[in-house]
Amino acid sequence: MKIVADENIPCVREAFSTLGDVKLVHGRGLQPEQVAEADILLVRSVTRVDERLLAGSGVRFVGSATIGFDHVDRAYLAGRGIGFATAPGCNATAAAEYTVSALLVLSERQGFSLAGRSVGIIGCGNVGSRVRARLAALGLQCRVNDPPLQARGAGGDFVTLHDALDCDIVTLHVPLERGGSHPTFHLIDTAALARLNPGAILVNTARGAVTDNAALLATLQARPDLTAVLDVWEGEPEIDLSLLGRVALGTPHIAGYSLDGKLRGTAMIYQAACDFLDMPASWNVQDVLPPATPVDVRAESDTEALARAAVLGCYDVRDDDERLRRLAGLAVEEQSAYFDRLRREYPVRREFATTPLRQVSMTNEQRQLLTCLGFVL
C-alpha cells in the first residue's frame, strides 16, 4: 500500500509504516502527479484536496490531521467513494491554552485584572468550550454566541453576535464557512469591528478569513485603543506586515501546536485509516510522548499572578510573537518560506496537564484555579 503524507505531521512515518510504504512530501503546493499512485493521502490545512489534486489517482482514503476541513472538498470525496477523516478536537486544548496565555500576557502588559471582565466567545465547540471553562475559572463573565449549536438545541444561555461583540474581550473559535446557513467568512467585518467597545481585545485563533484583515488593519489604524491578537491570517503564508505591526501579539498559525495535540491528531487519523481498511492498529501514541520539563512556580498571594506564573512557565505566547516579528526584517521573497519554517520547525510545547509544577504551598482557591486551567497537581 502506498501512502503519501505531509512531512509536518509528527510521527506520521512511524505510525503509517505499519500499514504500507510512506512517502513524505511538502504539503503546501502538493501536485497531482505526487499522489497519482497513492492509496492513502494524509494532509494538513495547507493542502487543498479536491478534484484537481485527486482526479485519476488511486486514493481511497484521505486523512487530515486537523480539526477543520475547509481545505477539503468533502462532496467530491463522497461522490468518489473516498474515505475521509479529520481529527476533531485534537488540538482544542492547546488552542484554549494559547488563548489563556495571550490574555494573561495582555492583562499584565496593560495593567488590568481578568477577573470581572466580560468575554464574548464566538463559537463554543471543541475549542470554544475549553476556552469558556478556563476563562470562567479566571473570573471572567462569559457570553457565548454559536448559532449552529443553538439551532441544534444545545442547552445554555446564548447571545447574539451583537451582544458577544459588546464585551471587553472577543475571542473567535469558529470554522471557516463560506456558505450555508451560518457563514463565517469575514464574520468580523468593518461593521462588526465598529461595534467593539473602547479598549476591547479581539483574539482570532480560528481561521484568517473569519476576520476581514484589511478591515481590521484600517480599524486598528483609526482606533489605537483596540488590541488584537492574531494567530491566523488571510493569505498565509504571505501575511500583511502592516497588520503584523499593529497587533499586540502575532503568531504563525500555531495556537494548537502542542506536541500532545499534534500527536493526538496523528493518532486519530491513524485509527480512522485502520478502521477504514479493517486492519489492526499497532502504533500507540503513548509510546512516543516524552516526559515534560517541570515548571517552578513561586508562592504568590495574588491568585491571578500565580496562574500567570504557571501558565507562562509552561507556554509563553510572547516567544512565538517574537519569532514571527523577525519576518519583517527579511527580504520579501524569503518571508513566506520563513512563515512556513516557523511552523515546520516549531519547538516542543507541552500541554498544561502533562507539565509537572514544582510549587511551594498554595491556597485551596489557587489549587482549584490551576486545576481548572488544566494542570494536574
Name residue 68's amino acid: G
| Domain-located, residue 308 | no
Domain shared by 299 and 362, yes or no:
yes
Do 74 and 103 fall into the same domain? no
Among residues 132, 143, 234, 236, the one annotated as catalytic is 236
The verdict on residue 322 lying in a domain is no
- Let me know whether 280 and 295 are in one domain: no
Q: For this structure, is 14 an active site residue?
A: no
In a domain, 283, yes or no: yes
Give the tens place of pLDDT for each residue, 15-60.
Answer: 999 999 999 999 998 999 999 999 999 999 999 999 999 999 999 9
Name the band, by pLDDT with cuts 50, 70 and 90, for residue 93. very high
Question: Quick check: is 319 in a domain?
Answer: no
CATH number at residue 154: 3.40.50.720
Q: Is residue 266 part of a domain?
A: yes
Q: Assess contact for 239 and 339: CB atoms under 8 A.
A: yes
Residue 351 confidence (pLDDT) above 80: yes
Mean pLDDT of the region 158-180: 96
Task: State whether 79 and 110 are in the same domain.
Answer: no
Residues 70, 175 within the same domain: no
Q: What pLDDT, on the 0 to 100 scale, is given for residue 360?
A: 72
Examine the domain organization and report whether 130 and 79 are in the same domain: no
Q: How far apart are CA 178 and CA 183, in angstroms?
A: 5
DSSP 8-state class, residue 327: G
Residue 207 annotated as catalytic: yes
Residue 313 lies in a domain: no
pLDDT band at 224 (very low <50, low <70, confident <90, very high): very high
Look at residue 16 and tell me if it is in a domain: yes
Q: For 317-340, b where at least 16 C-beta lie within 10 A, e where not — what string?
A: beebbebbbebeeeeeeebbebbb
Tens-place pLDDT, residues 129-161: 999 999 999 999 999 999 999 999 887 789 999
162 and 231 both lie in a single domain: yes
In a domain, 221, yes or no: yes
Catalytic residue among 44, 132, 134, 253: 253
Is the pTM higher than 0.85? The answer reads yes
For residue 319, pLDDT beyond 90: yes
On whether both 99 and 167 belong to a single domain, the answer is yes
- Active-site entry in 130, 207, 349, 350: 207
Q: What is the mean pLDDT of the chain?
A: 96
- Domain residue limits at 54: 2-86+258-287
- Strands (E) in the chain, as ranges, are 2-6, 21-25, 40-43, 61-64, 83-85, 118-122, 141-145, 169-172, 201-204, 227-230, 249-250, 295-297, 357-359
Give the residue carrying C-alpha cell 481548572.
372
Give the integer Cα–Cα distance in Å for 295 and 319. 16
The average pLDDT across 329-341 equals 97
Residues 76 and 115 in one domain: no
Same structural domain, 223 and 277 = no
Domain count, the chain: 3
Check pLDDT > 90 for residue 100: yes
pLDDT of residue 312: 97
Is-catalytic flag, 234?
Answer: no
- Together in a domain, 76 and 96: no
